[in-house]
Amino acid sequence: MHEFLEEISQKDGVSGYEKKVGEVIAEKFSPYIDETRADPLGNLIFYKKGQGKHSPRLMICAHMDEIGLIVTKVEEQGFLRFTSLGGFDARTLPGQEVTIYGRNILPGLIGFKLPHLLTEQEKNRGVKMEDLYLDTGLPAEVVQRLIPVGSVAAIKRNFMTLRHNSRAGKALDDRAGVVSLWQCAKELAKFKHEADLYLVATVQEEVGTRGAVVSTYGISPDVGIAVDVCHGDFPGALEQEVSSMAQGPVVTAGPNIHPAVGERLLQVAKDYHLPHQRDVSPGPTGTDARAIQISLEGIPTGLLSIPLRYMHTSVELVDLEDVKDTGLLLAYFTAGVDRTFVEGLACL
Amino acid sequence: MLIKELSVIPGVSGDETRVRNYIREKVTALGLPSHTDSLGNLYVSKEGRRRGAPPELMLTAHMDEVGLMVSSIEKSGHLRFYKVGGVYEEALISKPVKIGTADILGVIGAKAIHLQKKEERKKALTIENLYIDIGAKDKEDAEKVVKVGDYVSFYSEASRYEDIIRGKAFDNRAGCAALLEILKRDYPCSFTVVFTVQEEVGIRGARVAAYRVNPRLALVIETTIAADTPEIKEHELSTSLGGGPAFTVKDDSVIVHPHLLDRLVQVAGEQKRPYQFRRFGGSFTDAGAIATAGGGVAAAVISTPCRYIHSPLSMLNLKDWHHLVEIVDGFIRSIDEKGLEI
């Protein structure tokens, strides 16, 4: 699990350009599933056939895209202005190493004005995206030739093993979720399950959950579960906004969640003695679940989250046990999804 | 590559041990004698082909780099820290670090953008808002592997693309690498090379070294600011990457002896190498401590330009560094051949 997370964390796949990371994911899932297909947006759908005659369809999604950058202007001296694909805090970017996908793949870093050249006002207001630029150090004519406007750039960060089961790196939002889906597929080899299972590595979540819309229409599931990350605790955090690290997956409640699906996830966690936590989202969640629920005629939807610290930075931190327990909970939940459960969901 | 190997070694001011050991190993392999003092400066005597003449020239490069130090451990197991030297705080966010002699890995996180109020986003994140996360369960767990007072260095790998290298601590491992390169070569005259400590916290090692060596002339090999980036006025950029090594006329600590400066310019001219003058008059170098040590020393500075110094990831052009090595080489020979009146 560590190896898989390390490998896909270090692969690049900014929103809309998920192919490279998708290839690794597809290869890793293939031993545990019956069929793989990709849809026109690039969602990867891993199908695992159920035992039943009239099997209900269960879709479980985790997004494989990551936030990234896109070049908007090549300055005369060869510096590159950029905007973001997805939500960055500009203040986390100075000095960040990047990989630029121009006509060649080029290394670079995010340059900034040195502190002694900043005005007092600039110092206080913090860094803005407009203050920053990509710097390859290469001569201007080389940059102009190799990196056209519109080239994307991905954050570069080596995956790190911290204390105990803590791991840090880029794009763990939501590659950790993808790994939990893989863990679920592996675990299901030990179980008979009635439901036809569609595990989906979705695209373009970070720019508006677009992959999940398409995958839901394509699969037409009876139940949809999104697996994403939620905020892990940190010093000075508001308790209600964060979940504890290493205390298991987080089951969300709120209008985005079908009550019976949420209840079942909790019940399964209790039955199998899996650590788990609860959180509340008072409206549409910032995950694929928001799209799944209102696709087609409406899909009963659930959301499981893996606590993650420092979201949308290059040092996102997760606990491997939480990733594993999320995968196990998904597998045990899948094993219990049958025709009766699904039919009950429409009767409110 | 020497610069890359040297740059990845943690060596924050006051904690230069591993850098010193690495350099000493290289120096010993060259068959050169070396010794240290109580601060940790490393002295290397380079005996020339013409033996007996007392060395009058001292060459120095500082081994230390800017970094951090653990100042307290929170109940949650997160580490608070102080800066050691002039670290650019805003470049700390979202970066990995190595803590203590066991190189415990940690990350400097930031509150997720999703949880920030609009007002929060418009304020600079200063050091009081930052902490290191090693993934510990709590304070007790963290204390098993780190302690208050542990030095913290940036954790950046060094990488190269054509002539451009990126990594941490090129200020001043590029200078150390240049002197190691010089020590491999053969010279008619003898001279002393000192790898100094604690430059970044107030040019402290060099003062002691100059007093001990008592040279007549000193050349400090440094790495300096290249601010040749967008929206910087020409007079503010100090030096440009790829513009050749930079000569200092003055900084906040020293006015370079004009005879030494003239000679450096002359050597560069004879070698037909590009060079530039450092156009930022601020900040400190070991030359300041050396010039005013003992009875006074004629001191000069030559630097490799480097973008984003004092941050976790800096950038330099290897061509500049190669030119620097050759100018230093030519300078040593020139002093030997022609002497230099002060």
What distance in Å separates the CA atoms of residue A346 and residue B151, rounded to the nearest whole number? 60
Same domain, B221 and B310: yes
Mutate: best of B81, B111, B141, partner A, most A CBs <10 A:
B111
Same domain, B186 and B326: yes
CB contact under 8 A, A313 and B93: yes
Q: What is the mean pLDDT of chain A?
A: 95
Whether A316 sits among the annotated catalytic residues: the reply is no
Say what the ipTM of the complex is.
0.91
Same domain, A106 and A243: no
**How big is the CA angle at A287 (ends A284 and A288), to the nearest 5 degrees?**
100
A346 Cβ under 8 Å from any chain B Cβ: no
CATH number at residue B296: 3.40.630.10
A73 Cβ under 8 Å from any chain B Cβ: no
Which residue on chain B is closest to A105 by alpha carbon?
Answer: B161
Same domain, B219 and B304: yes
For residue B160, is it within any domain? no
Which residue on chain A is closest to B236 by alpha carbon?
Answer: A117
Q: In terms of DSSP H, where are the helices of A237-293?
A: 259-271, 288-293
Mutate: best of A10, A155, A315, partner B, most B CBs <10 A:
A315
* Closest CB from B96, B124, B230 relative to A77: B230
Smallest CA–CA distance, residue B213 to chain A, in Å, is 34
- Looking at B97, B130, B154, the residue that finishes a domain is B154
Same domain, A201 and A295: yes
What distance in Å separates the CA atoms of residue B9 and residue B16, rounded to the nearest whole number? 9
Same domain, A133 and A248: no
- Residue A229 backbone phi and psi in degrees, to 5: -110, 155
Same domain, B252 and B291: yes
Interval A59-79: pLDDT, tens? 999 999 999 999 999 998 999
Task: Give the pLDDT score at B207.
Answer: 95
CA dihedral angle for residue B240, residue B241, residue B247, residue B251, rounded to 10 degrees: 60
φ/ψ bin of B43: left (φ > 0), alpha (ψ from -120 to 50), beta (otherwise):
beta
The number of residues making up chain B comes to: 342
What distance in Å separates the CA atoms of residue B171 and residue A115, rounded to the nearest whole number? 17
Q: In terms of DSSP H, where are the helices of chain A?
A: 2-10, 19-29, 120-125, 140-146, 172-187, 210-219, 259-271, 288-293, 320-336, 339-344
Interval B69-117: pLDDT, tens? 999 999 999 999 999 999 998 899 999 999 999 999 999 988 888 888 8
CB contact under 8 A, A89 and B312: no
Task: Give the pLDDT score at B42.
Answer: 98
For residue A162, is it within any domain? no
CB contact under 8 A, B114 and A87: yes
The number of residues making up chain A comes to: 348
Same domain, A138 and A191: no
CB contact under 8 A, A135 and B111: no
Which residue on chain B is closest to A117 by alpha carbon?
Answer: B236
Q: Any residues with CB less than 8 A from the CB of A164 and at least 6 apart, and which?
A: A246, A319, B135, B136, B137, B141
Tokens 């060459």 sit on residue:
B59
Same domain, A148 and A82: yes
Same domain, B302 and B200: yes
Lowest mean pLDDT among A106-115, A325-334, B119-128: B119-128
For residue A22, is it within any domain? yes
What distance in Å separates the CA atoms of residue A135 and residue A158, rounded to the nearest whole number? 20
- Looking at A98, A122, A155, the residue that finishes a domain is A155
What distance in Å separates the CA atoms of residue B85 and residue B108, rounded to the nearest whole number? 18
Mean pLDDT per 10-residue segment, chain B (342 residues):
97 98 98 96 93 84 98 96 93 96 94 85 86 96 97 96 97 98 96 97 96 96 93 84 96 95 98 95 92 94 97 97 98 94 90
Helix (H, G, I), strand (E, B) or coil at A144: helix
In this prediction, residue A268 has a pLDDT band, given cuts at 50, 70 and 90, of very high
Question: How many structural domains comprise chain B?
Answer: 2
A137 Cβ under 8 Å from any chain B Cβ: yes
A74 Cβ under 8 Å from any chain B Cβ: no
Which secondary-structure segment (H or E) carries B175? helix B170-183
Residue in B340, B249, B263 with CA at minimum distance from that of residue B303: B249
Task: Give the pLDDT score at B237.
Answer: 84
Eight-class DSSP state of B257: -
What distance in Å separates the CA atoms of residue A160 and residue A86, rounded to the nearest whole number? 23
For residue A160, is it within any domain? no
A114 Cβ under 8 Å from any chain B Cβ: yes
Same domain, B175 and B61: yes
CATH number at residue B80: 2.40.30.40
For residue B161, is it within any domain? no
